[in-house]
Structure 1
Amino acid sequence: MKIRLHDRPVNTAWVRALWLVIALLLLAGGIFSVTRHEENLVSASRILGGIMFAAGFLNFSVCEGKNRKLHGAHWLMADGLVAVFLSLFPLFNQMTQPLVIPFFFGVWELVSGILKIMDSAELKAEKLRCWMGFAFIGAVELLSGGMSMIKPLDDLVGINKVIAIIFFVQSAGFFLKALMAKDIITE
C-alpha cells in the first residue's frame, strides 16, 4: 500500500531518467572493468572513479531536489557523500598498487549495502512495498563488498572481475531506484 499525501500524480520522470543514466553508466563501468587486464587497472581506475563520483553526485543532487518528498532521503544523501569522497582516491591517486583499488570500491559497496538495508527498514515501517527489493540489493552489496576485500577471492576471480561485480550490483540498485521511484517519492 502506497502512502500519499494527496491523489495527484507524482512527477518522477527527471529522477527516474537520472537514475537510469547512472545505472547504465555503472553497467558500462562493469563491462569496462571485465574487459581490462589487471595490469591496466590503475589507469582504468580513473574512469571507474569518475563513474563512482557521478553516481554519488547524482544521489546527493536527487536528495537536494526532492529532500522532503523522498522516503529515506538521509540514507541516499549519506550514500552519495560516501561515493563522492571515496571516488576521489581512484580519480586522483595514480601512484597506488592495483591490489588496493578493490578495497575502495569494496568499502563503497559495503557502506552502500548498510545504508540500503537501513533504508529498507524505514520503507517497511512506512508500509511501502518496495522495501524487500532494497533489502535484497543491500544484502547483495554487503556480500559483494565484503568478498571484494578477501585476497584469495581476488586471486581466484581476478581483481577486474571483482570490481565489475561491484559495478553490476550498484547498477542493479540504481535500476531498482528508477523502477520504484513512484513509490519512494511523494509530492
Structure 2
Amino acid sequence: MFSSTTPLIKCVPTLTKQVYRRAVHSTKLTMAPIKVGDKLPAVDLFEDSPANKVNVCELTSGKKVVLFAVPGAFTPGCSKTHLPGYVQNADKMKAEGVAEIVCVSVNDPYVMGAWGNQHNTKGKVRMLADPSGSFIKALDLGTNLPPLGGFRSKRFSMVINDSTVEELNVEPDGTGLSCSLADKLKLKK
C-alpha cells in the first residue's frame, strides 16, 4: 500500500503492540491527509475496465503528472466546470512539461470511460476509476456524500513529480470549485 519509506509504516508495529497490551481499549490508526513532499501510495486504479489496472506509483514514476479528483462522474460541477477545464488546458499543461493528466473518481471504470468519452478526453486526460475508494482512503481525502452514494473523493488537484506530491490543492469544503481547477495550478518547470 505505502512505500517502505513512508513514516506511517514505521508506526504500525508499535500500534499493533499497544493494541495487544490494552485488550480493554481499542486503538484506531488514524492517518493524516497526504501533503506536499509525501510519496504517493502504490494503489491500483482502473482504466476502461476492471481488467486494466493502473498502479499510481508506476504511472507517476520518473515524470510530472497532474492528478485531480472529483466527487462523482456526470455530476454537475464535475461535468460543467472541473473536467472540461483540464481537457481545454491539456495541450498547454503538456507544453509546460506535464507528461500525463489524470482524473480520479470513486466510480467504476465503465462509468469513468463513458464520462471521458462524453467529454472527448482521449489523448488529453486519463480517466481512472477508484471503485472501492482505496486510493482516496490512502490519501485520506475522502468524504461522505450520501446523495452520491456515500463515500466519495473530496475535490482536489495535485502536481506529482516522480511519485512525490509537489503541489496540492484541496477544496476547503471538499466539493467546491475554487482552488482545484485547471487554471489554478502553479506548474513549476
Fold match by TM threshold 0.5: no
Name the structure where strand makes up a greater proportion of residues: 2
Smaller-chain TM-score range?
Answer: under 0.3
- With structure 1 as the length reference, what TM-score do the two structures score? 0.27
Name the structure where helix makes up a greater proportion of residues: 1
- With structure 2 as the length reference, what TM-score do the two structures score? 0.27
Question: Which protein, 1 or 2, shows the higher relative CO under an 8 Å CA cutoff with sep ≥ 6?
Answer: 1
